[in-house]
Structure 1
Amino acid sequence: MREVEISDDSIRLGQFLKLSGLAEDGAEAKGLLEEGEITVNGETETRRGRQLAIGDRVTLGDEEVTLTHR
């Protein structure tokens, strides 16, 4: 598991996927979500606009990323 720092208290999932490197761009993020490839805190998520908070865990395959605050 790795950590990715954000400066605010929350971030949208689509933005976080790009920031963390799980997706190269918005189109890839959208595709991953539509295909059910992304989980947030262990549950499949399909909404790009979902608000993530500090401590949330985002997973794609074997890679898990946790949000931390700067």
Structure 2
Amino acid sequence: MTRDGKAWLGDQVRDEVAERDGIVTDIRQGLFVLRPLYRSTEEWTADSDEQLTVTVPREDRQF
């Protein structure tokens, strides 16, 4: 579920700081944990949802 257009769990996003696309998989102590679209073993964190742009909300993603 997207919160007022902000990234949330399961959303596909563009991380503007890392210049990467990914999926929000977790939120730990305020950090957004992301994984790449196609390789699930790697992950990185985003400090804030302000640096994330939702490209495909969870509800619209094809699983």
Q: Which has the higher strand share?
A: 2
TM range, smaller chain: 0.3 to 0.5
Kindly indicate whether structure 1 or structure 2 has the higher relative contact order, using CA contacts under 8 Å at least 6 residues apart.
1
Q: TM-score, normalised by structure 2?
A: 0.32
The structure with the greater share of residues assigned to helix is 1
Q: TM-score, normalised by structure 1?
A: 0.30
